[in-house]
């Protein structure tokens, strides 16, 4: 890639193409005989017992390799599973944040421990439960099966199958294709009440800002009030109300994702979101509010829609997106007392949600590689010393100065 000199963080002349990958999981229902179901049920029960034993033996500061070497030999001797199944259980147990589980989906890799074949009337998935013990499970030809076959014909690959607690099969599919990078970036900040979108150029100019999902939070608040009234009166209606809320959120997230991808195509922009992780508990009310944010479902729908429309989805680090000042580059306290305004010592006072979406977009721009093949990283200090986010001396104050070009001239992104 060759870049032009002058102002602008990312002004490239060559077309950049990246490889995009998307994953899906489809539940395939089975209709095996009673004898096969008996063997499968026995295998699942042993797998759950072994999984709980692995969770009990896990230590907090233990690395994966230490945990693997300590438990692999005992797991093979106790359960007698194939080596791939045992390694899969150990890996999942090390990642699991729980002390005990009641159900489990055991994964089988293709072709080492699982394979598929067709007969004149049925489609089978054959699992290697134990050494020299393989069971072929027939699949019901319903809509999920038709969707699975349609994806396989369209170039999707399935290298892993899972056996659930209900003795059904989960097909884990993936697809990869080349996606061209676009000039601008659309940053998305998701919170409990709405989603904020900001589109910026490599020069730092804000092209568009808006909110999505305000009506969804209002309706969910009414549903939550209704559920609190039915908590001790009618369990059947309470379950129906929960399903109604689930379907409502899923439908509205689909509409929001369609609007976001449409904006990305309109402004020739990539989409950037945060990589949110587990948070530390801070109180019952705060935990309840945060856990109701449908981030995982939103991300899954957004990944699929961006992949279908050839829009690159960038997952950026969530470090201090709500506390970083886009004007001076300092990391302050972030929200004000009412969580609606962002205040910085440099005098900047802006809407906190809009600033967070701007920070996500700026991070995506700064993490792109320039002509010197340097990858930008954020420092954990208040004012980073690496030159990623700081006022530029050559340009006007308030600009972001991530790096310098080969001739020593600064290349900056003005966000002030």
- Backbone φ and ψ for 389, nearest 5 degrees, come out as -130, 105
pLDDT value of residue 403: 36
Q: Would you state the structure tokens that stand for residue 205, as one six-digit string?
A: 């100019």
Give the CA dihedral 360, 362, 363, 368, nearest 10 degrees.
Answer: 130
pTM of the model: 0.73
Location of each CATH 3.30.420.10 domain in the chain: 181-414
Q: What is the pLDDT of residue 58?
A: 87
* Cβ–Cβ under 8 Å, residues 345 and 330: yes
- Residue whose token pair is 């700026």: 362
The two tokens of residue 337 are: 């007392």
Q: Report the distance separating Cα 371 and Cα 295, nearest Å.
A: 34
Of the candidate CATH numbers 1.10.10.10, 3.30.420.10, 3.10.580.10, 3.30.70.1350, the domain formed by 181-414 belongs to 3.30.420.10
For residues 259 and 212, the answer to whether their CB atoms sit within 8 Å is yes
- C-alpha 293/C-alpha 300 separation (Å) is 14
Calpha distance 337→340 (Å, rounded): 8
Question: What pLDDT sits at residue 40?
Answer: 94
Compute φ and ψ for 183, nearest 5 degrees.
-75, -45
**At how many degrees (to 10) do helices 64-79 and 83-95 cross?**
130
Strand runs labelled E in 224-303? 269-275
pLDDT given for residue 309 in this prediction? 92
Q: Are 375 and 7 in contact (CB under 8 A)?
A: no
Taking the chain (416 residues) in runs of 10, the rounded mean pLDDT of each run is: 37 60 91 93 94 89 89 89 93 89 93 92 93 92 95 93 95 92 91 87 88 84 78 71 83 91 95 78 65 82 91 84 74 64 78 85 75 39 39 36 35 40
Q: In the sheet where 17-28 sits, what is the strand order?
A: 17-28, 169-180, 157-163, 106-109
For residue 182, give the nearest of 390, 394, 361, 337 by alpha carbon.
361
Structural tokens at position 109: 């890799």
pLDDT at res. 33: 92
What's the pLDDT at 202?
87
């Amino acid at each position: 890639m060759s870049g032009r000199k002058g102002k602008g963080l990312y002004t490239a002349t060559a077309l950049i193409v990246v490889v995009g990958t998307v994953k899906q999981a489809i539940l395939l229902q089975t209709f095996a005989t009673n004898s096969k179901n008996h063997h499968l049920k026995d295998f699942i029960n042993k797998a759950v017992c072994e999984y709980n034993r692995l969770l009990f033996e896990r230590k907090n500061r233990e690395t994966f390799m230490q945990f693997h070497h300590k438990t692999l030999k005992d797991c093979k001797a106790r359960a007698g599973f194939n080596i791939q199944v045992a390694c899969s259980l150990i890996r999942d147990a090390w990642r699991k944040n729980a002390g005990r589980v009641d159900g489990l989906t055991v994964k089988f890799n293709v072709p080492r421990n699982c394979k598929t074949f067709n007969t004149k009337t049925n489609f089978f998935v054959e699992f290697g439960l134990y050494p020299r013990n393989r069971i072929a499970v027939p699949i019901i030809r319903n809509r999920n099966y038709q969707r699975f076959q349609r994806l396989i014909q369209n170039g999707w690959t399935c290298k892993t199958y899972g056996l659930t607690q209900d003795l059904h099969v989960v097909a884990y599919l993936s697809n990869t294709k080349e996606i061209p990078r676009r000039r601008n970036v659309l940053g998305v900040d998701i919170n409990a009440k709405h989603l904020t979108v900001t589109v910026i150029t490599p020069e730092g100019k804000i092209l568009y800002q808006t909110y999505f999902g305000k009506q969804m939070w209002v309706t969910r608040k009414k549903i939550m009030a209704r559920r609190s009234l039915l908590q001790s009166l009618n369990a059947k209606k309470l379950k129906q109300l929960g399903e109604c809320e689930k379907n409502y959120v899923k439908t509205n997230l689909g509409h929001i994702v369609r609007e976001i991808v449409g904006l990305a195509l309109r402004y020739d922009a990539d989409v950037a979101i945060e990589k949110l992780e587990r948070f530390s508990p801070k109180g019952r009310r705060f935990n309840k509010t945060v856990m109701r944010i449908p981030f995982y479902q939103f991300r899954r729908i957004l990944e699929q829609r961006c992949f279908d429309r050839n829009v690159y989805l960038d997952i950026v680090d969530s470090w201090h997106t709500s506390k970083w000042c886009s004007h001076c580059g300092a990391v302050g306290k972030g929200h004000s007392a009412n969580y609606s305004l962002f205040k910085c010592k440099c005098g900047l006072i802006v809407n906190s949600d809009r600033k967070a979406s701007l920070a996500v977009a700026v991070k995506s721009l700064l993490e792109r590689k320039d002509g010197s093949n340097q990858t930008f990283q954020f420092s954990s200090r208040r004012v980073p010393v690496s030159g990623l986010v700081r006022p530029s001396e050559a340009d006007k104050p308030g600009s972001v100065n991530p790096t310098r070009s080969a001739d020593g001239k600064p290349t900056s992104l003005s966000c002030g």
